[in-house]
């Protein structure tokens, strides 16, 4: 029997029903994977081939205001109405179909992203995590974070991690129903750690992560080596976090990102998310490191670069990259 997303929702909710509130509001942070999620063992349920590890972006992410309405679904993004047939709206409404108490139930969604949408900054992750959190509040289901992580995963795999803040591990799991594939936070704080966002382009990616992932698995001769690499890197990153070993953390995260992009570049036709400016920035980062600045980078499926550095290096980073947006993920724990 092939399980569907609706089966998972029914399993998680287990008959929970209630009258919706007038409105619910939720925020979820975007997250940047230090050990990447690239490849699915089950496309329908967004079950990953390997586990992954991310770091949240604090105040950067998605806010959702959700209410039921009459007539038809409506969605507004960053103050502008989104046409019903637009890809963003279509994907959103398809996800909401999983949770409608009746066919006549419609939703009004007001969403605001504080990071570029569909540009390689994980906006879909924070968006679906915020949406599930708002649904949980709107209908009063009383789900815990683990259950919300499983439901958010159905919209976007990385959304399973955006239910939490800080360092978050998404367990790949092994069950066919995916009930052991969820995220949970690491019990670790690193107040001095910084992320820097370098926006090379805010344009929507020509090839989204979902089709890009599928194409890579089907055509890249390098993908066979990826699961073992990701498993090693995950263990290395967790050890580095416990030891507060920044050089080890940065080296492993950068290596992991480049290995993921290597599998894409080796696909045919090749899948290259980098732009010329992306390469120039990578070369500049390597040159700074050779000059003694402890600086590393990571990249998701897009042209934009995320810097990893410590608080003491921030003045130098801002000097070299004046347009960088700096995030202190653990500033609340100082």
The mean predicted confidence, pLDDT, of the chain is: 94
Residue boundaries of the structural domains of the chain? 5-185, 193-333
How many whole angstroms separate alpha carbon 88 and alpha carbon 214? Answer: 20
Separation in Å, CA 302 to CA 90, 133, 167, 193, 291: 22, 27, 22, 23, 27
Q: What is the reported pLDDT for 88?
A: 87
Between 123-139 and 145-155, two packed helices, what is the crossing angle to 10 degrees? 130
**What's the whole-model pTM score?**
0.94
Between 87-96 and 145-155, two packed helices, what is the crossing angle to 10 degrees? 140
Q: What is the reported pLDDT for 203?
A: 81
Helix (H, G, I), strand (E, B) or coil at 161: helix
Residue 83 · residue 73 · CB < 8 Å: no
Q: What is the reported pLDDT for 84?
A: 87
How many whole angstroms separate alpha carbon 68 and alpha carbon 20? Answer: 8
CA 144 to chain centre: 20
How many whole angstroms separate alpha carbon 145 and alpha carbon 90? Answer: 26
DSSP 83: P
Q: What is the reported pLDDT for 200?
A: 93
Q: What is the reported pLDDT for 1?
A: 67
Q: What is the reported pLDDT for 333?
A: 57
Contacting residues for 301 by C-beta, under 8 A, at least 6 apart: 38, 120, 205, 208, 209, 212, 213, 264, 273
Q: Could you tell me the two tokens for 44?
A: 């329908």
Residue 327 · residue 196 · CB < 8 Å: yes
Outline where the chain has alpha helix (H).
Answer: 5-13, 87-96, 123-139, 145-155, 159-162, 209-219, 226-243, 246-265, 276-290, 314-320
193-333 maps to which CATH number? 3.30.70.890
Q: What is the reported pLDDT for 321?
A: 97
Between 226-243 and 246-265, two packed helices, what is the crossing angle to 10 degrees? 160
Mean pLDDT of 72-81: 94
Residue 61 · residue 126 · CB < 8 Å: yes
Contacting residues for 176 by C-beta, under 8 A, at least 6 apart: 3, 42
How many whole angstroms separate alpha carbon 226 and alpha carbon 257? Answer: 11
- Over the stretch 28-59, which tens digit does the pLDDT of each residue have? 999 999 999 999 999 999 999 999 999 999 88
User: Taking 80 as the threshold, does the pLDDT of residue 248 lie above it?
Assistant: yes
Reported as a pLDDT band with limits 50, 70 and 90, residue 332 is low
Question: What is the β-pairing status of strands 296-298 and 305-310?
Answer: antiparallel
H or E element, residue 327: strand 325-327
Q: What is the reported pLDDT for 119?
A: 41
Q: What is the reported pLDDT for 209?
A: 87
User: Taking 90 as the threshold, does the pLDDT of residue 17 lie above it?
Assistant: no
- Over the stretch 153-194, which tens digit does the pLDDT of each residue have? 999 999 999 999 999 999 999 999 999 999 999 999 999 999
Residue 276 · residue 123 · CB < 8 Å: no
- Over the stretch 262-317, which tens digit does the pLDDT of each residue have? 999 999 999 999 999 999 999 999 999 999 999 999 999 999 999 999 999 999 99
User: Taking 80 as the threshold, does the pLDDT of residue 121 lie above it?
Assistant: no
- Over the stretch 79-105, which tens digit does the pLDDT of each residue have? 999 998 898 899 999 999 999 999 899
5-185 maps to which CATH number? 3.30.230.10
Q: What percent of the chain has pLDDT over 90?
A: 87
Check for a shared fold between 5-185 and 193-333.
Answer: no
Reported as a pLDDT band with limits 50, 70 and 90, residue 334 is low
């Amino acid at each position: 029997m092939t399980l569907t997303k609706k089966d998972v929702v029914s399993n998680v909710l287990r008959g929970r029903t209630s009258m919706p509130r007038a409105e619910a509001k939720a925020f979820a942070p975007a997250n940047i994977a230090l050990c990447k999620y690239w490849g699915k063992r089950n496309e329908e349920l967004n079950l990953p081939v390997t586990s992954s590890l991310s770091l949240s972006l604090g105040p950067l992410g998605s806010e959702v205001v959700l209410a039921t309405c009459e007539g038809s679904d409506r969605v507004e993004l960053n103050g502008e109405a989104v046409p019903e047939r637009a890809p963003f709206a279509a994907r959103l409404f398809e996800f909401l179909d999983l949770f409608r108490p009746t066919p006549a139930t419609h939703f009004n969604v007001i969403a605001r992203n504080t990071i570029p949408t569909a540009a390689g900054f994980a906006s879909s992750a924070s968006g679906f995590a915020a949406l599930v959190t708002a649904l949980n509040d709107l209908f009063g289901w009383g789900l815990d974070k683990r259950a919300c992580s499983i439901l958010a995963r159905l919209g976007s795999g990385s959304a399973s991690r955006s239910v939490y803040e800080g360092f978050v591990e998404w367990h790949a799991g092994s069950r066919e129903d995916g009930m052991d594939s969820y995220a949970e936070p690491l019990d670790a704080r690193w107040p001095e750690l910084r992320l820097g966002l370098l926006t090379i382009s805010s344009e929507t990616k020509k090839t989204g992560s979902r089709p890009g992932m599928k194409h890579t698995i089907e055509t890249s001769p390098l993908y066979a080596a990826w699961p073992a690499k990701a498993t090693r890197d995950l263990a290395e990153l967790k050890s580095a976090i416990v030891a507060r070993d920044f050089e080890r953390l940065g080296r492993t995260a950068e290596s992991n990102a480049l290995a993921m992009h290597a599998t894409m570049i080796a696909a045919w036709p090749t899948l290259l998310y980098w732009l010329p400016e992306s390469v120039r920035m990578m070369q500049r980062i390597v040159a700074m490191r050779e000059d003694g600045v402890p600086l590393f980078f990571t990249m998701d499926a897009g042209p934009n670069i995320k810097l990893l550095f410590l608080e003491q290096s921030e003045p130098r980073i801002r000097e070299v990259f004046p347009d960088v947006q700096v995030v202190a993920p653990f500033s609340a724990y100082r």
